[in-house]
Amino acid sequence: MQTLPVHLDLFALIILLGVAQGLFLGVFFLTGERAKQVANRCLGWFTLALSGVSGEIFLNYTNYTFQLLWAVDFAEPLNFVLGPLFFFYVCSRLHQRLPRHWGWHLLPFGIWLLNSATWFYQPVEFKYNSYVNSLHPELPYIPAQPYWDEDFTGLRDWINEMTLVSCLVYAFLSLMTIRSVSRQRPAIWAAAQLNSLRFLSWLVALVPLLIVLVKPRFYHDVGDYLLATYMAATIYSISFLVMRGSSFFREVPAEPDPPVELKKKYEKSTLSEEVEDAVLTRLTRLLETDKPYLNSGLSLSRLAEQLDTSPHHLSQLLNDRLGLTFFDWLATYRTAEARQLLSNPALAHLKIDEVAERVGYNSTSAFHTAFKRLTNQTPAQYRANRLGTQVE
């Protein structure tokens, strides 16, 4: 059994650092209070999966696999979990829950995990030949007697193409989810938050392009070190975004005393951060399934009743988390709905007072005032600019 010496260079160092950072991020997101949020758990498992794939490539590239032949191709099933986990992260980050029927997305991973037993439980001679075939075609094979037939699916020769399709599909689904949320809930999601998710989605979407560029240029898996280097860059990009969004590095200013009226209003409040999170989650889900702000009779007390909380707590939540009073929050969503109606050529026949009524305003003047305050245009001016018509 011929082996080669350990090979270390700059690429090996970059890949190793990426593996270490990915393991750190995975443990970070899956422990403590952070693990209570489903989005953090998804991101933690995603970074661990990236580290697993990169770790195998590191062993192969540096020739350490000759010393750890039992680990040959140990991370191959993870190819089918990277895309779904990232999609789960995007969905849970935006909707505070996993997508419906999320278990079906992991079916390819489950099948390939079972399939991997056919090459993982094999004699060391078989694994040596597999490694040599993938990374060192210049070395001769050695006699081997497999315990059983390899690959019961007959699809293993297409692993690169299947990985490409998986990453492409889930990157597309992630981008479409972000696009949908940015249109439906502009008031809650700031552009910076969505831009970070878009950036990570495009990083995942570029993986298929790299596979297309790298694989044909190299024999079997010889060029995988370039993919692992890109994965390391992805892991460090996630680290940068986490650090950028952290309050740890920000100077904490002296907190000014709140206005006397506001202080008196909330000084006896028992609303904890956990309760705020729960109410905000219910509010988000209510906005997804219904549009309560279109009801002209909606009041703070009625909305609080729908969310199973008190008007006092709901008012505090809107102030603390969104920086809005109830009426500002109501105006923001009604104006966003009105903008969609005014931008639709098929609804150009609607009068402004009809638009006001559709979005929940009984008073056209109140609609005008709120719309102009938030857009710096009257409804008629906004429609004219969007549809290219003249203001009546």
- Each domain of the chain, given as residue ranges in start order, spans 10-245, 270-387
pLDDT tens-digit map of 205-263: 888 888 888 777 776 666 788 888 989 999 999 888 888 766 555 444 444 445 555 44
Average confidence (pLDDT) over 101-116 = 95
DSSP letters of 209-232? HHHHHHGGGSSTTTTHHHHHHHHH
159-184 helix and 82-95 helix, angle to the nearest 10 degrees:
10
Task: Decide which of 3.40.50.970, 1.10.10.60, 3.40.50.300, 3.30.930.10 is the CATH code for 270-387.
Answer: 1.10.10.60
Model confidence pLDDT, tens digit, residues 178-215: 888 777 655 545 555 667 778 888 888 888 888 888 77
At the top level of CATH, which class does the domain 10-245 belong to?
A: mainly alpha
Q: Which of 298, 332, 300 is nearest to 313 (CA)?
A: 300
- Binning pLDDT at 50, 70 and 90, where does residue 386 land? confident
Tell how far CA 22 is from the center of its chain.
16
Residue-level pLDDT at 252 = 45
On whether the CB atoms of residues 200 and 86 are closer than 8 A, the answer is: yes
- CA distance from start to end of the chain: 87
Average pLDDT over residues 48-73: 94
d(CA 138, CA 372): 73
Cα distance between residue 41 and residue 21, in whole Å: 16
In the chain, the amino acid numbered 374 is L
Residues 208 and 163: their CA atoms lie apart, in Å, by 8
Q: Which amino acid is at 356?
A: A
Same fold across 10-245 and 270-387: no
Name the DSSP letter for residue 72. Answer: T
Rounded distance between C-alpha atoms, residue 231 and residue 186, angstroms: 32
**pLDDT at position 390, please?**
56
Q: What is the pLDDT of residue 126?
A: 94
Give how far Cα 379 sits from Cα of 76, 301, 335, 346, Å. 56, 29, 9, 16
Distance CA 388, CA 165 (A): 42
For the stretch 149-183, pLDDT in tens is: 888 999 988 988 899 899 999 999 998 988 887 77
Residue 3 has pLDDT above 90, yes or no: no
List of long-range contacts for 292-299, beta carbons under 8 Å, 24+ apart: 293/330, 293/333, 293/334, 293/337, 293/359, 293/360, 294/334, 294/337, 294/358, 294/359, 294/360, 295/360, 296/357, 296/360, 296/361, 296/362, 298/330, 298/360
Nearest-10 crossing angle of helices 10-29, 224-245: 40
Question: Which band of pLDDT confidence, cut at 50, 70 and 90, is reported for residue 103?
Answer: very high
Could you report the per-residue pLDDT of 286-339, keeping only the tens digit for each? 887 788 888 888 888 888 888 888 888 888 888 877 778 888 888 888 998 888
Residues 378/355, Cβ–Cβ less than 8 Å: no
Relative orientation angle of helices 379-387 and 326-343, to the nearest 10 degrees: 40
Buried b (16+ CB within 10 A) or exposed e, 338-362: bbebbeeeeeeebebeebbbbbbbe
Q: Which residue has better confidence, 76 or 256?
A: 76
